């Protein structure tokens, strides 16, 4: 997609982090906005901000884990603006701890948002885009699914999150191949950010009450939360910079989008281990002090 003016962007997780920065760039490019977020007060404030700039925008509180609510989002987009050109399946949450300590509710919450949110977005919006392409040879569409470097690596004490993001990478790679069989007018990309200050480490604030754990967090979950707070909070690459990289990739029809290309070295090592039939390598090989601290914290 080269021309964004007057096109329509649908953004989940649109009231903060990457989503809000996607919206800012889209608005600057002359796009119409359909913003979705589960946090209604933040969504209302973001919509008001864009309306004050005279940007055509609507907002809809959406729990992306619910297929009916994603369908309602699509219906609202079509009713308001007639079509969708750019879809950001961006909403995401995080949870950590040793993988056997994650509760069934942890899995249901994280997979519901991180994976099923993308599944619902792809399943519901892609047919709309393909129908628009069939009607108009000039139509261009693009889908961006937000995964993570945790979708290419498997750091410890992040199991439920790793699983969700690996699934998003696999889903999006398959979507790329499937789209290539039927159209040249709709493309897709997968965004794999590293540690970027977006607020995802505080996503428990929006966890539904019916999926809350009754038991207090385990030692490993507390340690994981502290590490996440430190890593995300100290990130030097901003969400705005990642959003710009994402729009550059959309223009260039690039599939993989990385916030930290230098973090690909362990990805290469992982795939070399797989091909070489070696046991998984130490993710802290270049920072043994981090591993020592983690072991000490977990073993008490």
Q: Is 116 a catalytic residue?
A: no
- Token pair 């393909």 is found at 130
Tell me how crowded residue 44 is: count the other CB atoms within 10 A of its CB.
Answer: 14
**Catalytic residue from among 116, 139, 161, 258:** 161
In 3D space, the residue among 12, 17, 13, 15 whose CA is nearest the CA of residue 199 turns out to be: 17
In 3D space, the residue among 1, 253, 127, 27 whose CA is nearest the CA of residue 11 turns out to be: 27
**Measuring CA to CA, how many Å separate 244 from each of 3, 56, 191?**
15, 21, 12
Yes or no: say if 43 and 119 are a contact pair by the CB < 8 Å rule. Answer: no
Burial (CB count within 10 angstroms: exposed 0-12, middle 13-18, buried 19+), residue 295: exposed
Yes or no: say if 168 and 257 are a contact pair by the CB < 8 Å rule. Answer: no
Catalytic residues: 161
């Amino acid at each position: 997609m080269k021309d964004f003016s007057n096109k329509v962007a649908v953004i989940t997780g649109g009231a903060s982090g990457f989503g809000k920065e996607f919206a800012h760039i889209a608005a600057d490019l002359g796009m119409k906005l359909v913003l979705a977020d589960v946090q209604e007060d933040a969504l209302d404030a973001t919509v008001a901000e864009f309306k004050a700039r005279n940007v055509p925008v609507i907002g809809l509180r959406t729990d992306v884990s619910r297929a009916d609510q994603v369908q309602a989002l699509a219906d609202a987009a079509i009713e308001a603006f007639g079509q969708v050109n750019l879809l950001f399946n961006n909403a995401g949450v995080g949870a950590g701890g040793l993988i056997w300590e994650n509760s069934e509710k942890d899995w249901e919450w994280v997979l519901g948002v991180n994976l099923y949110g993308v599944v619902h977005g792809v399943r519901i919006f892609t047919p709309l885009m393909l129908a628009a392409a069939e009607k108009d040879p000039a139509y261009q569409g693009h889908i961006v699914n937000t995964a993570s470097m945790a979708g290419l690596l498997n750091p410890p004490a992040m199991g439920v999150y790793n699983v969700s993001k690996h699934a998003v990478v696999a889903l999006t790679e398959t979507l790329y191949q499937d789209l290539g069989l039927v159209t040249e007018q709709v493309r897709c990309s997968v965004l794999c950010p590293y540690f970027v200050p977006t607020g995802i480490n505080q996503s428990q604030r929006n966890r539904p009450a019916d999926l809350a754990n009754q038991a207090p967090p385990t030692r490993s979950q507390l340690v994981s939360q502290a590490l996440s707070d430190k890593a995300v909070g100290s990130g030097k690459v901003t969400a705005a910079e990642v959003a710009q990289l994402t729009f550059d990739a959309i223009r260039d029809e690039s599939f993989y989008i990385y916030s930290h290309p230098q973090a690909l070295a362990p990805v290469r090592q992982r795939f070399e281990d797989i091909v070489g039939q070696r046991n998984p390598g130490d993710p802290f090989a270049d920072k043994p002090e981090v591993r020592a601290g983690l072991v000490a914290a977990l073993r008490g």
